[in-house]
Amino acid sequence: MRGEESVRLAVDIGGTFTDVVLELGDVRHSAKVLTNVQNPELGLLDGVRVVLKEAAVAPRDIDVFVHGTTLATNALIERKVAKTALITTKGFEDILELGYEKRFDHYDLMIDMPPAIVPADLRFGVTERLAQDGSILSALDEDELVAICAELRAVKVEAVAIGFLHAYAHSDHEKRARDIVLRELGEGVTICVSHEVCPEIREYERFSTTCANASVRPLIEGYLTRLAKELSDLGIDAPLFLMMSGGGLTTLESASRFPIRLVESGPAGGAILASHIAKQCDLDNVLSFDMGGTTAKICLIAGAVPERARHFEIARTYRDTKGSGWPVRIPVIEMVEIGAGGGSIARIDAMQRIKVGPDSAGSEPGPVSYGRGGELATVTDANLVLGKIDPAYFAGGKLPLYPDAAKDVLGQQIGAPLGLDEFWPAAGVVEIVEENMANAARVHAIERGRDIAASTMIAFGGGAPLHLCRLAEKLSIDKMIVPAGAGVGSAIGFLRAPISYEVTRSFPMVLDHPDMKRVNQMLDDMAREAGDIVRPAAGDRKVQVQRVVDIRYQGQGHELQVVLPEGTLDAADAQWIHDQFETQYRAIYGVTLDNVPSEIVTWSVTVLCEIDDGVSPTFGEGEATEIAPRSHRELFDGAQGTMLETPVYWRFDLPVGAKISGPAIIAEHETSTIVTSQFDAEIDAHSYIILTRKEAV
């Protein structure tokens, strides 16, 4: 520990950049380095060394280390996972192939369904069957299971997922099967059982989640083991926490067992940051906008709480269409994610239209302007040509860019086919990617019954501040916020997240006939299970318990979430839960269903401990009193459709209360805020950039 000052470190490994943030008391230091795709821990260590040197902090002084990574997600998307088998109830071997038994696009006659997460030749059925009430319909055939293990050994599987019918409620057969498989295959094979990974109804999603967890666990366990050793060798012995997709932190041990919970860890950190800012600024309705090098993420936040869900799709294969990926049931912060990042590739399609993404140039080779062998035009190349990026100070000046190369590739690949010259190919690419993001935000808000124009947009990530004003123009949003350190926003969000763990159970209960005695016993058991993970890491900090239910009208196939009241529940609470459900249902769908009882399907208990001390650090630079631009450069203004001579301000020259009228560029270490001619900017008491629409003249 360095005196009385807390030293906290966070690292977010993205598809293009690895972001590192170190908070030393009320001062923040940051770095952005290219992600090392083959050995991500090496890029991480490079960034850590940079901030340690800048802050003059020794590795042993680090008190807390928080980490989020896309490693699990990328492995699943690229199918670079362990050779995995599924053992299931005989007759259910093809659940992963059948899915929801419907097409995700009814009008495409040439549709290709996504490949099953486990191929048919590695799916095995064993005789066993428990009824929904736990009674044995068919005993587990242990001899048959031993024979299956012999086949698995012959084909050298690396991981086994075990998922039986009704195991979410009655796990005896899964536990016995795990013991036999472990005995037959040995410790070298990863074994995951569905009642631990996803104890919920709906066998397709439960089996898919268990298989995904099993297939990435050897990779993540190996990575985390190497990382822990590298950090120890560097001299960092602080507790290591992993960011989860639901917005909480978990321990190294828990993350190694259930790596599927890490798949959206980076975007979750950004949503946590936006929620923190919403609470600071007393904002009821917020649109969180996170744009990095590979993707853009949009999240709705009400009352400083991001929307959450228990369903997510990985590795969508068909134009980002819902239903074209592998479903997993894990706690996630609800957001829409699209292939619209700085590295998103631009091209001309068969109908002579500009198309952007969803594929990305990533960090290797990266955009053409990186000078690292990239050959395809990207959004970053377009932003460079339009003056939104300083070629000499990209990523804090650590990665020089080549504007002539960017202009040439855009002219050849975009301009020549369409007959466009000068800056117009770049303007076309940026206009398309901005419209893609705006449309995704519109649809996301409409699906949830929200008025997006009434929201305040909070933008972070290296790319979001470059585009937020144009998005606001398209969405009729009048106010935006860019926090300090926006370019590494997700990593900052990691340091605001609580240590937490969520336990779920499926126990259908119609609220007309509640069994509150059983419910209270179940909720207490779930709280103990989650607390056993959180309390050792929490130390002396106060622990909270949050409880929610997934509820629907009886007979429906999908649910809404309602927060449960505190304390022991009784029959009066059942009516209160029903009323809360109908209020939410009416807000989203505009109607309620009279005389149809409501039914709770799944119960969730989260135990959490806040580790954020409430400090809002600033960067380690003094504030200047003069408001003067450091330079000028040509900037494309989309609203006016022309290049304008534009002043460039350094963010840390701007004192609290400073006001700037657009068009203007406010530059900082890892990004720049582009203030278009439609907006004014002001620095508030938190050192945030507040952008507001100019009044019509």
Three-state SS letters, 340-408: CCCCEEEEECCCCCEEEEEEECCCCCCCHHHCCCCCCCEHHHHHHHCCCCCCCCHHHHCCCCCHHHHHH
Q: Lowest mean pLDDT: which of 359-363, 368-372, 511-515?
A: 359-363
What is the spatial distance between Cα 85 and Cα 5, in angstroms, rounded to a whole number? Answer: 50
Quick: pLDDT tens for 183-203.
Answer: 999 999 999 999 999 998 889
In order of 38, 104, 197, 313, 630, the CA distances from 96 in angstroms are 30, 15, 16, 14, 59
- Using alpha carbons, select from 112, 167, 104, 506 the residue that is nearest to residue 313: 104
What is the spatial distance between Cα 688 and Cα 483, in angstroms, rounded to a whole number? Answer: 5
Q: Which CATH architecture has domain 77-221?
A: 3-Layer(aba) Sandwich (3.40)
Residue type, 36: N
User: What secondary structure letter does DSSP report for 105?
Assistant: -
- What band does 613 get if pLDDT is binned at 50, 70 and 90? low
Q: What is the pTM of this model?
A: 0.85
CB 488 within 8 A of CB 10: no
Can you give the pLDDT at residue 111? 80
Concatenated DSSP letters of 611-667: ---S---EESSPPPS----SEEEEEEETTTTEEEEEEEEEGGG--TT-EEESSEEEE
What sign does the CA torsion over 133, 136, 138, 140 have? positive
Quick: pLDDT tens for 650-659.
Answer: 988 888 889 9
CATH number for the domain formed by residue range(s) 499-609: 3.30.1490
Higher pLDDT, 164 or 617: 164
Can you give the pLDDT at residue 70? 80
Can you give the pLDDT at residue 319? 58
Residue type, 140: L
625 pLDDT above the threshold of 70: no
Q: Lowest mean pLDDT: which of 4-8, 506-510, 682-686?
A: 4-8
Quick: pLDDT tens for 383-436.
Answer: 999 999 988 888 777 788 999 999 999 999 999 999 988 899 999 999 999 998
Question: Within 13 Å of residue 349, how many CA atoms lie on the same side as its CB?
Answer: 8
What is the spatial distance between Cα 482 and Cα 487, in angstroms, rounded to a whole number? Answer: 10
What is the spatial distance between Cα 275 and Cα 280, in angstroms, rounded to a whole number? Answer: 9
Can you give the pLDDT at residue 498? 87
What is the spatial distance between Cα 505 and Cα 245, in angstroms, rounded to a whole number? Answer: 19
Can you give the pLDDT at residue 74? 78
Average pLDDT (160-187) is 94
CA terminus-to-terminus distance, the chain: 57
Domain ranges of the chain: 1-57, 77-221, 344-431, 499-609
Can you give the pLDDT at residue 619? 47
78 pLDDT above the threshold of 80: no
Three-state SS letters, 285-354: EEEEEEECCCCEEEEEEECCEECEECCEEECCCCCCCCCCCEEECCCEECCEEECCCCCEEEEECCCCCE
212 pLDDT above the threshold of 90: yes
**88-97, 358-367, 586-595, 611-620 — which one is most confidently predicted on average?**
88-97
Q: Which residue has the tokens 């909070």?
A: 458
What is the spatial distance between Cα 173 and Cα 513, in angstroms, rounded to a whole number? Answer: 30
In order of 121, 208, 289, 489, 645, the CA distances from 670 in angstroms are 48, 38, 16, 10, 23
CA 366 to chain centre: 22
Q: Lowest mean pLDDT: which of 281-285, 313-317, 639-643?
A: 313-317
- Using alpha carbons, select from 405, 383, 404 the residue that is nearest to residue 394: 383
1 pLDDT above the threshold of 50: no
- Using alpha carbons, select from 250, 290, 609 the residue that is nearest to residue 461: 290
**177-181, 237-241, 314-318, 607-611 — which one is most confidently predicted on average?**
177-181
- What band does 576 get if pLDDT is binned at 50, 70 and 90? very high
Q: Which residues contact 121 (CB under 8 A, 6 or more apart)?
A: none
% pLDDT > 90, the chain: 52
Burial call 315-333: b when 16+ CB within 10 Å, e when fewer: bbebebeebbbbbbbbbbb
Can you give the pLDDT at residue 621? 47
Angle at CA of residue 460, ends 495 and 451, nearest 5°: 110
Average pLDDT (629-654) is 89
Can you give the pLDDT at residue 612? 63
Concatenated DSSP letters of 212-253: HHHHHHHHHHHHHHHHHHHHHHHT--S-EEEE-TTS-EEEHH
Can you give the pLDDT at residue 692? 95
Per-chain mean pLDDT for the chain: 88
Q: Alpha helices of 448-511 — where are they, by DSSP H?
A: 464-475, 489-494
- What band does 639 get if pLDDT is binned at 50, 70 and 90? confident
Quick: pLDDT tens for 29-59.
Answer: 888 888 887 788 888 999 999 999 999 999 9
What is the spatial distance between Cα 470 and Cα 458, in angstroms, rounded to a whole number? Answer: 14
Strands 344-348, 354-360: parallel, antiparallel or unpaired by DSSP? antiparallel
- What band does 697 get if pLDDT is binned at 50, 70 and 90? very low
Average pLDDT (1-14) is 77
H or E element: which one contains 439?
helix 424-447
What is the spatial distance between Cα 213 and Cα 194, in angstroms, rounded to a whole number? Answer: 10
